[in-house]
Amino acid sequence: MDYRIKEQTGFSPRVGELVSMLNYTRAVTLADVEGLSTEELDYLADGHSNSIGALLMHMSAIEFVHQVIAFENRDLPERELEQWIVPLELGDKARSEIRNQPLDYYLDALNKVRDKMLSLLESVDDSWLYEEGEYYNGVVYNKYYLWFHVVEDETSHRGQIRILKRMLK
């Protein structure tokens, strides 16, 4: 694992630094879930918690939504929302629907979304990071913030995963 934020081959300088952060964040997440069984991935600490599997799907969903916002400047249409709403919102539906899958199922979802995002990031330059958009509620953001939020969200949920793993013991 590389503990340096640095430019990455194939990306503009700042985009490459962002990719470096995304890659490190993901590498730590993958190390934390390595070898987990389906039962461990489905573990619920109580009636209000999320499972590790649901948190992994949430990470995929957050990254997918941010891809759509950042690269297509749109919200999800109904058909995409149907696919992603449960892992996006988590809660009761996620506790009942995101279950009984092996680790590879979750890793595949994470990898598919990440691979697409990396290929999309190869096509933009540093100025793209500072392009602004506006949420439906009028709050202004730039694309750099969107990807910072992906890192922040994954890091936060990885903390939850670590707590759940300790509870399993």
| Concatenated DSSP letters of the chain | --------TTS-HHHHHHHHHHHHHHHHHHHHHTT--HHHHH--SSTT---HHHHHHHHHHHHHHHHHHHHH--PPPHHHHHHHHHHHH-SHHHHHHS-S--HHHHHHHHHHHHHHHHHHHTT--HHHHT-EEE-TTS-EEEHHHHHHHHHHHHHHHHHHHHHHHHHH-
* Mean pLDDT, residues 105-113: 98
| pLDDT tens, residue by residue, 64-80 | 999 999 999 888 888 88
C-alpha 116/C-alpha 122 separation (Å) is 10
Predicted confidence band of residue 110 (pLDDT cuts 50, 70, 90): very high
pLDDT at position 32:
97
Whether the pLDDT of residue 129 is over 90: the answer is: yes
- 163: containing domain: 13-168
Is residue 5, in this structure, part of any structural domain at all?
no
C-alpha 89/C-alpha 58 separation (Å) is 8
| Mean model confidence pLDDT for the chain | 95
Is residue 123, in this structure, part of any structural domain at all?
yes
Is residue 85, in this structure, part of any structural domain at all?
yes
Indicate the number of domains in the chain.
1
User: Which two tokens mark 55?
Assistant: 């948190």
CATH at residue 57: 1.20.120.450
pLDDT at position 6:
92
pLDDT at position 52:
98
pLDDT: which is higher, 77 or 31? 31
Q: How many C-beta atoms surround the C-beta of residue 4 within 10 A? A: 7
State if pTM tops 0.75: yes
Predicted confidence band of residue 1 (pLDDT cuts 50, 70, 90): confident
| pLDDT tens, residue by residue, 43-100 | 999 989 999 999 999 999 999 999 999 999 888 888 888 999 999 999 999 999 999 9
Is residue 8, in this structure, part of any structural domain at all?
no
Whether the pLDDT of residue 4 is over 90: the answer is: no
Predicted confidence band of residue 37 (pLDDT cuts 50, 70, 90): very high
pLDDT at position 76:
85
Whether the pLDDT of residue 169 is over 90: the answer is: no
Is residue 160, in this structure, part of any structural domain at all?
yes
